[in-house]
């Protein structure tokens, strides 16, 4: 044993006067080890195994500092070590795990829920009552908790596509509030014939207020007449909602209550939020919400006719929640807003425990685009942080607009297809009515004539 120790000591001791050689050898060994552990970029598309349809906003998790979600088309990309294990999950599907080095181009997810029974709820629903009470207590206790997010907004209207991306921080318990932008970028892609001083893209807009909407609100300053599923537990529930309850077991043997709340015809005179809540029964935790806003009004100003008019929009939303910090926190959020030929799509992604350095900060008021311009573009932040992969449309805008900053080559052929080009040509005429219009949200019901 002594000889072995002596031999080991001699191997670690450089020859007399040979420190430089020893350090160079040590440095070379370190570089070799680092090369073996370098980060690689992996990508795939997630699809439903039965239908072949893409699975959007599925969670892709490696660690608290490494993860992402699939985009609207079910695609994702992530920088990780080849030996890392990716865990892909989405409510209603069996989880998929595989090493990064073995990730297939297409990840097929199998349905993983087992239906238990239909539930008939009489009187006040105890589950909803406990859920709402718990979340409101959490919102008060953790009202100062802040999370870091990535936000992307894509807007399409005849002949024009627009993209805005931003890193932000916000109070994140139960719902998003007090948004602060730190680094952003935006671009506008339009056909040549649409050049003109009146076309300013989104311009002054406060459409980010959609992020403040959630099944359980902790303040009502913005949504005067909006009614949420929390009203089901109040005295008006019988007049406003029809409720159906179902329970099922997911792939982790977790009992989940699926609560479907649909507005009754009597509630049609109010803007009302309806949809489906997925609740962990044992822990009384809200896992997910899929819903839509019915009867929400916006006020549109038509510059050409110099008059304002009121119109309704269709708003679909999806929210996933996380509990890494011991309270209900927004994990990711997405939504689509449609009015005639105008379509807006957004996503919000919680960046988890990633260590980020923000050099600027701008509280967001009524003008989201102005806030993005004021904080500017921090190339270091964008280069070192994994974000949600862009769709083909989003990359077409980013790579088609020379003023838009981008850190890597597009993964797609960003030229429009003949069908897409034809659709844009068909919609050009409608632009004359929309050019220069503004679309601020109208709070509550329109004024009576």
Contact, 163 vs 399, CB < 8 A? no
Predicted confidence (pLDDT) per residue in 361-401, tens digit = 999 887 888 888 899 888 888 876 778 988 888 888 888 77
Of residues 421 and 347, the one with the higher pLDDT is 347
C-alpha 185, offset from chain centre: 17
- DSSP one-letter string for 192-207: GGG--TT--TT-S--G
Give residue 148's pLDDT band: very low, low, confident or very high (50, 70, 90): very high
The torsion angles phi and psi of 141, rounded to 5 degrees, stand at: -65, -40
Q: What is residue 22's predicted lDDT score, i.e. its pLDDT?
A: 44
Nearest Cα neighbor of 239 from 257, 208, 266 is: 266
Q: In what order do the strands lie in the sheet with 40-48?
A: 75-80, 40-48, 106-109
What domains are there in the chain, each with its CATH number?
A: 40-111 (2.60.40.1120), 115-434 (no CATH)
Q: In the numeric block, which tokens belong to residue 441? A: 């949200």
* pLDDT at residue 346, rounded to an integer: 92
Residues 6+ apart with CB under 8 A from 220: 226
pLDDT of residue 323: 92
pLDDT at 441 > cutoff 60: no
What phi, psi does 210 have (nearest 5°)? Answer: -60, -25
Q: Which of 144-148, 258-262, 336-340, 414-418 has the highest mean pLDDT?
A: 144-148
What pLDDT, on a 0 to 100 scale, did the predictor assign at position 167?
Answer: 94
Tens-place pLDDT, residues 149-205 = 999 998 887 667 888 899 999 999 988 888 999 999 888 777 654 444 344 455 556
With 50 as the cut, is the pLDDT of residue 319 above it?
A: yes
CA pair distance 125, 316, nearest whole angstrom: 25
The per-residue pLDDT for 63 is 87
Higher pLDDT, 221 or 387: 387
Q: Cβ atoms within 10 A of the Cβ of 440, count? A: 15
Q: Rg of the Cα trace of the chain? A: 26
Residue 52 has pLDDT above 60, yes or no: yes
Please give the C-alpha separations between residue 182 and each of 51, 167, 235, 398, in angstroms, as whole numbers: 40, 6, 43, 19
Q: Which 3 state secondary structure label does DSSP give 442?
A: coil
* Whether pTM exceeds 0.85: no
Residue 429 in this model has a pLDDT that exceeds 60: no
pLDDT at 293 > cutoff 80: yes
3-state DSSP helix/strand/coil % of the chain, to nearest 5? 25, 40, 40
What is the overall mean pLDDT for the chain? 75
């Amino acid at each position: 044993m002594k000889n072995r120790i002596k031999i080991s000591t001699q191997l670690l001791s450089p020859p007399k006067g040979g420190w430089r050689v020893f350090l160079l050898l040590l440095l070379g060994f370190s570089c070799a080890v680092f090369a073996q552990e370098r980060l690689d970029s992996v990508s795939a598309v997630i699809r439903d195994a039965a239908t072949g349809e893409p699975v959007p906003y599925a969670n892709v998790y490696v660690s608290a500092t490494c993860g992402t979600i699939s985009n609207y088309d079910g695609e994702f990309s992530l920088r990780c070590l080849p030996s890392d294990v990716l865990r892909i999950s989405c409510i209603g599907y069996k989880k998929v795990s595989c090493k990064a080095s073995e990730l297939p181009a297409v990840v097929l997810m199998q349905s993983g829920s087992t239906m238990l029974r239909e539930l008939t709820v009489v009187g006040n629903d105890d589950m909803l009552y406990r859920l709402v009470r718990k979340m409101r207590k959490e919102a008060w206790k953790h009202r100062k908790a802040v999370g870091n997010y990535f936000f992307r907004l894509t807007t399409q209207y005849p002949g024009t596509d627009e993209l805005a991306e931003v890193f932000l921080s916000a109070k994140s318990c139960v719902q998003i509030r007090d948004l602060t932008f730190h680094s952003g970028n935006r671009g506008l892609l339009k056909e040549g014939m649409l050049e003109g001083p009146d076309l300013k893209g989104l311009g002054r807009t406060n459409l980010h207020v959609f992020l403040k909407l959630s099944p359980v609100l902790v303040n009502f300053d913005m949504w005067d007449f909006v009614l949420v599923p929390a009203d089901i537990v109040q005295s008006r529930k019988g007049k406003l909602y029809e409720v159906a309850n179902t329970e099922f077991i997911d792939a982790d043997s977790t009992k989940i209550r699926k609560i479907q709340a649909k507005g009754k015809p009597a509630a049609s005179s109010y803007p009302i939020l309806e949809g489906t809540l997925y609740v962990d029964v044992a822990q009384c935790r809200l896992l997910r919400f899929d819903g839509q806003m019915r009867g929400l009004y916006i006020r549109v100003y038509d510059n050409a006719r110099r008059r304002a008019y009121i119109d309704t929009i269709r708003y679909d939303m999806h929210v996933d929640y996380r509990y890494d910090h011991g309270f209900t926190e927004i994990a990711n959020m997405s939504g689509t807003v449609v009015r005639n030929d105008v379509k807006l799509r957004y996503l919000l992604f919680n960046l988890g425990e990633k260590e980020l350095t923000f050099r600027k900060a701008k509280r967001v008021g009524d003008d989201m685009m102005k806030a993005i311009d004021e904080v500017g573009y921090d190339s270091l932040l964008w280069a070192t942080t994994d974000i949600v992969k862009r769709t083909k449309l989003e990359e077409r805008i980013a790579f088609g607009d020379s003023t838009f900053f981008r850190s890597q080559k597009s993964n797609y052929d960003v030229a429009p297809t003949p069908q897409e080009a034809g659709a844009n040509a068909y919609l050009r005429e409608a632009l004359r009515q929309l050019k220069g219009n503004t679309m601020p949200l109208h709070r509550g019901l329109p004024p009576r004539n």
